[in-house]
C-alpha cells in the first residue's frame, strides 16, 4: 500500500469524524475499527509513530462503545490524532514524532522534563533542529532590531512565525521549557505595543542561545525558564478567573482520557493549575492553520466577496480620512459603519467567519462612535485603520488561498487586534455584543478570532483552545481537512441571498474583456482593409461610399467603447497615497496636508495597477525628502507649519499626467551634483542643465540622504520609479525650485494596448515609431550632417548635435532613398537622450494596436512589437531604447573608447568640420 493510499484512508476517517453524529456511538466504534486496521498498515509500512497515534485513537474510539453519546472531547481528541497522522504522512522527512506525541497527550501519562529531550526523538532530528535554529538566531536578531525601528507588521509577523514554529518544534522534541518561553514570547509579541518588548525579545534570544548551547553540550545549563516566562507574561493583564474557567472546561472534557499530567515546568509558570493538561495541545496541533479548504465552497461567492469587500474597504479608508480631518462629520462615519456592516454580512454568506468576526468587532466600535459614546480619534482611530488593514490582509489571504491550495494563511496579528477592539468597546453598554459572535461557527482558521473574546492571557493557544472546546455541532462547519462538499455547501440560503443583491455594475472576467477588445481591434483592421480595397474603390457608388462611411463610424465608436471598458478611475491608488501620507506624517512627526485632484481621471486598468508602486516611492520622497525635516524649519522659512503634498491627475494631449507636488525645499542641486561627481556619473565642469541634474536622481543607488531612514534614502526608490514608468511607456519629469518645492510629472499613455504611432517607411518595410518618443521630424540638409571619423554621423538639431543612425543600416534593409536630403530624420528621445533616425519617408500617424511578436521573438532588440496595418501586413513597432543599444553595438566595432573622451573628440571634430560650437551635452548623448 502506497503512502497515497494510506493518506486517502486517513482522509476518509477524518471526514467521517467530522460528519459524525455525537449520538452515533456505533459509528465511533466503527471508526475505531478503521483506525485499528490503519494502525496495522502503518506498522507494516514502518511508520511506527503514526501507528502509535492511530492505535491510541482506535483504543479511544473503542472505549465509547455502549455509551449513549460520544463526548465532544473524545471526538476532538480523535480528530486531532487523525490530523496528526495526516500531517505526519504529508511530511515524510523528518519522521516527526507528532503522532506519538498527540497520542501521548491523550492517553500516555509520562512527560519529559523541561529541557530534557524526549526519549522518542531521534538524534539526527535533534542535531538538525539545533543547527538550524542556532543559525536562525542571527536572522531573528536582525528581525528584532528591524522591529525596533520599524513597527510595520512584516517583521513582527515573521518573528511571530519563527517563535511559533520554534514553539511547536521544541514541544515536539519534548523541550517544554523552551516551548513555554516561545509561547510566552509569542503572546507578548501579539499583545503588546512592539516598542516595549524589544529588550525582552533580545533577552529571550539570549536565553534560547544558551539553551541551544546547553543542548549541544557546549554550555552550562541556562537560567530557569520559569523566571523568564514570568517576566514575559507580566504585562499581560490576566484575568485568572476566566482563564481558570476556560481551561477547567477543557480539562473536564478531556478528563476522561487524560491521565493526570506531570507537566512540571510549563504548568507552574503563570497559569492557574488547570492549565497543565491542555498546555501540550497547541504544540502538537501546530500545523492546524491549514484551515478549511475554500475551494470546496462556492468559489464564485467568494470572488464576489473579494471584489465587493475591496470596494468597501477602499471607500471606508477614504471616509475614515475624512473623519479624521473633521471629527464631527456624521455621514462618513455612517458610511464606514455601513461598509463594515456589509462586509460582515458578506463574510457571513461566504462563510469566512474570521473576517465576519473582525468586521463585527470593528462595527461595534464604530457603532459606539456613531452613538457618541466614543470619540473616534487617536488610539481608537488607529484601531479602526488597523482593522481596515487587517481586513484587507484577510481578504488578500482569501485571494491567495483561492489561487493556491484553498487554505487561507493564518494571520497571527488577528487575535490581538480583535482583542483590542473588544477592549476598546468594553466598559460601554455595547460591550455586551460579543455574545452573538459565539454563533459564528468558528472554522479552524477563525479560531484565533474566537479566542479574541476570552481574555488576553488565554489567547496563548488560540488554535488548540478552539479545537478543544468547539461544540460538536460546530465541528461540521470546521471541517478541518475534509475534502467533501457536504461541509462546504452547508448554507444554500446564504448563497441565494447574496445572488439576489442588485448590482449597478456587471463584473466581467478581465480575460474575457481583453478578448473582446482584441476582437474589436481585429474588426477595425478588417473594416479598414475592406474600405481601402482598391477594387472596391474603383467601382464605388455613392451609396456604397456612404455605407462604408457609416460602417467606419460604427467600428470607430466600437473601438472607443472597447477601450473605455478597461478604463478605471485612479481614485483607489490616490486614496492609498492619502493613507500613506497620513502614516508617514505620523511616523516622522511632521504636519502634512495632503490634497488630491482629478482622482476621477480614468486610466487603463493595467496602468492603474502598475502606477501604485512608483507613486508610493514618490510620495515617500515628497514627504521625507521634499518637505523640511521639522515643522519648525518650515516656520523659519516663512511657510505654513503643515507641509503640503498635492497629488493630481489630468488629461493632457492624449496622455494622462500625474503630478506630485510638494512645497518643501526643492531638490538640492549642489548636493546632487556633488554626489554625481563623486560617483563618477558626471564630470566636474560639465555643463549640465537643471533638468539633467534633476534627472540624476533617477540613477540606480543614487541618494544624497546622509542617513538611510526606514522611509527612504537608499536610492532605490527613484530608480524603481523610472523603470516602472518606462514599462508603462510613460515619462517622468522633475521641476524644482529651491526653497519652494518640487514637482514630479508623470506622463502616461491612456492605455497599454494602443499607442499613437508615426508610420515611417524604409525600403520596402514599414515601421512605427511611438509618437510619445518622437521629438520632431526633420528634413535634413547636407549642412546639418557631419561625419565623425567616417563612422558616426551627427545631425545638428537646434543647438545640439545628435547621433544619427540610418534605420536601413541598423536593420539591414535596403533604403530606397540614398540621398540624405530626400529622406526624413525622426528625432526621437529616450531617457532624455535624443538621437536621429534616418528613414525614407513619413507615411502618417495613427492609433496602433500593439501585438506581441510571439514568445520566440519577444526579446528582439530594437523592436517593441508588431502592429497590423490597414493593408493586413504587419509593421514593426520600434523600441527606441533598444535601438540605441543596437546602434551602439554596431558602431562600437571601430574602437571602444572611453565614452566621455570619445564624445569630447566628437565635439571637437564637429567643431572643425562644421564650424559650429561644440556644445554637445554628454547627457544628451546616448550611452550604453
Which residues of the chain form contacts with other proteins (CB under 8 A)? Answer: 518-519, 521-522, 525, 765, 810-813, 851-863, 865-866, 868, 872-876, 886
CA gap 411, 452 in Å, rounded = 13
Q: Which of 77, 849, 92 is nearest to 528 (CA)?
A: 849
| DSSP string for 698-710 | GSTT----SS--S
Q: Taking phi first (over 0 means left), then psi (-120 to 50 degrees means alpha), and beta for anything else, what does residue 37 get?
A: alpha
* Beta-bridge mates of residue 838: 806, 825
Cβ-contact 775, 732 below 8 angstroms: no
Helix (H) or strand (E) holding 778: strand 774-778
At residue 338, φ and ψ (nearest 5 deg) are -60, -40
| SS3 assignment for 472-532 | HHHHHHHCCCCCCHHHHCCCHHHHHHHHHCCCCCCCCCHHHHHHHHHHHHHHHHHHHHHHC
Q: What are phi and psi of 844, to 5 degrees?
A: 150, -175
C-alpha cell at 27: 459509528
Question: 880 Cβ partners below 8 Å, 6+ apart?
Answer: 769, 770, 773, 828, 829, 830
Q: What is the DSSP letter of 294?
A: G
Find, among 926, 886, 662, 623, the residue nearest to 803 by Cα. Answer: 926
Q: Which residues of 605-627 are buried (b: 16+ CB within 10 A; e: fewer)?
A: bbbbebbebbbbbbbbbbbbbbb
| Residue 878 grid cell | 520600434
- Cα separation of 834 and 849, whole Å? 25
Alpha carbons 381 and 366: distance in angstroms, whole number = 10
Residues in the chain: 928
Provide Rg for the chain, Cα atoms.
34
- For 153, what's the count of Cα atoms within 13 Å in the CB-facing half-sphere? 12
**Pairing state of beta strands 655-662 and 741-749?**
antiparallel
| Crossing angle of helices 331-349 and 299-325, rounded to 10° | 160
Cα-Cα-Cα-Cα dihedral sign, residues 704, 708, 711, 712: positive
Q: Is-contact 716 701, C-beta < 8 A?
A: yes
Rounded distance between C-alpha atoms, residue 266 and residue 491, angstroms: 42
Spatial distance between the Cα atoms of 325 and 377, rounded to a whole number of angstroms: 10
Contacts of 771 (CB under 8 A, 6+ apart): 755, 756, 757, 758, 845
Residues 6+ apart with CB under 8 A from 653: none
Full DSSP string of 138-179: HHHHHHHHHHHH--SHHHHHHHHHHHHHHHHHHHHTT-HHHH
Q: Which residues contact 27 (CB under 8 A, 6 or more apart)?
A: 16, 20, 21
Amino acid at each position: 500500500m502506497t503512502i497515497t493510499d494510506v493518506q486517502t484512508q486517513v482522509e476518509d476517517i477524518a471526514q467521517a469524524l467530522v460528519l459524525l453524529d455525537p449520538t452515533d456511538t456505533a459509528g465511533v466504534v466503527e471508526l475505531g475499527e478503521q483506525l485499528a486496521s490503519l494502525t496495522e498498515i502503518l506498522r507494516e509500512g514502518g511508520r511506527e509513530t503514526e501507528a502509535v497515534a492511530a492505535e491510541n485513537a482506535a483504543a479511544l474510539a473503542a472505549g465509547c462503545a455502549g455509551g449513549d453519546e460520544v463526548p465532544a472531547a473524545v471526538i476532538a481528541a480523535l480528530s486531532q490524532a487523525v490530523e496528526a497522522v495526516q500531517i505526519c504522512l504529508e511530511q515524510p522527512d523528518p519522521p516527526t514524532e507528532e503522532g506519538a506525541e498527540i497520542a501521548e497527550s491523550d492517553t500516555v501519562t509520562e512527560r519529559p522534563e523541561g529541557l530534557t529531550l524526549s526519549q522518542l526523538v531521534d538524534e539526527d532530528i535533534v542535531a538538525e533542529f539545533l543547527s538550524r535554529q542556532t543559525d536562525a538566531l542571527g536572522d531573528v536578531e536582525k528581525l528584532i532590531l528591524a522591529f525596533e525601528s520599524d513597527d510595520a507588521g512584516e517583521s513582527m509577523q515573521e518573528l511571530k512565525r519563527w517563535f511559533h514554529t520554534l514553539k511547536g518544534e521544541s514541544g515536539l522534541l519534548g523541550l517544554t521549557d523552551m516551548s513555554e518561553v516561545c509561547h510566552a514570547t509569542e503572546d507578548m509579541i501579539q499583545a503588546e505595543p512592539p516598542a516595549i518588548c524589544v529588550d525582552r525579545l533580545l533577552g529571550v534570544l539570549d536565553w534560547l542561545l544558551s539553551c541551544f548551547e546547553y543542548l549541544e553540550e557546549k554550555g552550562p545549563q541556562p537560567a530557569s525558564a520559569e523566571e523568564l516566562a514570568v517576566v514575559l507574561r507580566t504585562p499581560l493583564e490576566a484575568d485568572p478567573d476566566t482563564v481558570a474557567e476556560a481551561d477547567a472546561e477543557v480539562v473536564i472534557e478531556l478528563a476522561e482520557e487524560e491521565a493526570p499530567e506531570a507537566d512540571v515546568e510549563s504548568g507552574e509558570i503563570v497559569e492557574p493549575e488547570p492549565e497543565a493538561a491542555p498546555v501540550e495541545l497547541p504544540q502538537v496541533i501546530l500545523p492546524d492553520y491549514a484551515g478549511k479548504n475554500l475551494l470546496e465552497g462556492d468559489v464564485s461567492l467568494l470572488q464576489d466577496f473579494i471584489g465587493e469587500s475591496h470596494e468597501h474597504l477602499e471607500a471606508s479608508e477614504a471616509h475614515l480620512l475624512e473623519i479624521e480631518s473633521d471629527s464631527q462629520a456624521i455621514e462618513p462615519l455612517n458610511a464606514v459603519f455601513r461598509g463594515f456592516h456589509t462586509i460582515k454580512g458578506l463574510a457571513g454568506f461566504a462563510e469566512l467567519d474570521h473576517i465576519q468576526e473582525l468586521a463585527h468587532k470593528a462595527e461595534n466600535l464604530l457603532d459606539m462612535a456613531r452613538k457618541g459614546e466614543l470619540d473616534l480619534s487617536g488610539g481608537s482611530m488607529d484601531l479602526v485603520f488597523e482593522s481596515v488593514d487587517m481586513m484587507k490582509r484577510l481578504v488578500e489571504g482569501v485571494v491567495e488561498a483561492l489561487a493556491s491550495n484553498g487554505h487561507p494563511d493564518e494571520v497571527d496579528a488577528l487575535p490581538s487586534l480583535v482583542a483590542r477592539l473588544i477592549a476598546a468597546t468594553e466598559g460601554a453598554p455595547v460591550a455586551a455584543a460579543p455574545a452573538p459572535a459565539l454563533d459564528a461557527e468558528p472554522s479552524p482558521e477563525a479560531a484565533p478570532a474566537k479566542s479574541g473574546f476570552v481574555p488576553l492571557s488565554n489567547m496563548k493557544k488560540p488554535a488548540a483552545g478552539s479545537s478543544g472546546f468547539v461544540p460538536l455541532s460546530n465541528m461540521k462547519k470546521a471541517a478541518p481537512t475534509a475534502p467533501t462538499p457536504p461541509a462546504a455547501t452547508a448554507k444554500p440560503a446564504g448563497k441565494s441571498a447574496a445572488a439576489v443583491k442588485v448590482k449597478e455594475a456587471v463584473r466581467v472576467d478581465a480575460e474575457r474583456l481583453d478578448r473582446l477588445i482584441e476582437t474589436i481591434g481585429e474588426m477595425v483592421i478588417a473594416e479598414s482593409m475592406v474600405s481601402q480595397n482598391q477594387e472596391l474603390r474603383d467601382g464605388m457608388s455613392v451609396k456604397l461610399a456612404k455605407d462604408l462611411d457609416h460602417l467606419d463610424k460604427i467600428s470607430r465608436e466600437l473601438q472607443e467603447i472597447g477601450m473605455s471598458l478597461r478604463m478605471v478611475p485612479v481614485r483607489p491608488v490616490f486614496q492609498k497615497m492619502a493613507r500613506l501620507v497620513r502614516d508617514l506624517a505620523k511616523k516622522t512627526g511632521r504636519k502634512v496636508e495632503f490634497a488630491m485632484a482629478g482622482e476621477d481621471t480614468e486610466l487603463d486598468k493595467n496602468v492603474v495597477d502598475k502606477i501604485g508602486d512608483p507613486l508610493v516611492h514618490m510620495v515617500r520622497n515628497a514627504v521625507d525628502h521634499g518637505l523640511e525635516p521639522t515643522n519648525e524649519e518650515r516656520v523659519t522659512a516663512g511657510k505654513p507649519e503643515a507641509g503640503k503634498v498635492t497629488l493630481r491627475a489630468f488629461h493632457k494631449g492624449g496622455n494622462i499626467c500625474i503630478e506630485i507636488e510638494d512645497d518643501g525645499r526643492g531638490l538640492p542641486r549642489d548636493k546632487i551634483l556633488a554626489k554625481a561627481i563623486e560617483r563618477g556619473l558626471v564630470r566636474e565642469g560639465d555643463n549640465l542643465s537643471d533638468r539633467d541634474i534633476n534627472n540624476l536622481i533617477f540613477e540606480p543607488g543614487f541618494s544624497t540622504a546622509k542617513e538611510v531612514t526606514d522611509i527612504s534614502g537608499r536610492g532605490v526608490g527613484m530608480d524603481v520609479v523610472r523603470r516602472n514608468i518606462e514599462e508603462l511607456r510613460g515619462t517622468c519629469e522633475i521641476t524644482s525650485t529651491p526653497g519652494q518645492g518640487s514637482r514630479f510629472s508623470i506622463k502616461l499613455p491612456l492605455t497599454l494596448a494602443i499607442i499613437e504611432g508615426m508610420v515611417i517607411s524604409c525600403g520596402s518595410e514599414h515601421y512605427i515609431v511611438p509618437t510619445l518618443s518622437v521629438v520632431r521630424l526633420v528634413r535634413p540638409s547636407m549642412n546639418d550632417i557631419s561625419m565623425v571619423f567616417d563612422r558616426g554621423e551627427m545631425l545638428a538639431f537646434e543647438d545640439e548635435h545628435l547621433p544619427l543612425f540610418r534605420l536601413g543600416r541598423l536593420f539591414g534593409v535596403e533604403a530606397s532613398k540614398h540621398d540624405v536630403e530626400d529622406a526624413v530624420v525622426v528625432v526621437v528621445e529616450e531617457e532624455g537622450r535624443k538621437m536621429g533616425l534616418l528613414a525614407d519617408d513619413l507615411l502618417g500617424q495613427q492609433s496602433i494596436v500593439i501585438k506581441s511578436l510571439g514568445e520566440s521573438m519577444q526579446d528582439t532588440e530594437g523592436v517593441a512589437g508588431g502592429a497590423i496595418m490597414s493593408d493586413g501586413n504587419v509593421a514593426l513597432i520600434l523600441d527606441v531604447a533598444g535601438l540605441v543599444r543596437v546602434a551602439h553595438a554596431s558602431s562600437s566595432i571601430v574602437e571602444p573608447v572611453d565614452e566621455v573622451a570619445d564624445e569630447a573628440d566628437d565635439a571637437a571634430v564637429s567643431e572643425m568640420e562644421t564650424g559650429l560650437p561644440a556644445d554637445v551635452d554628454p547627457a544628451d548623448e546616448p550611452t550604453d
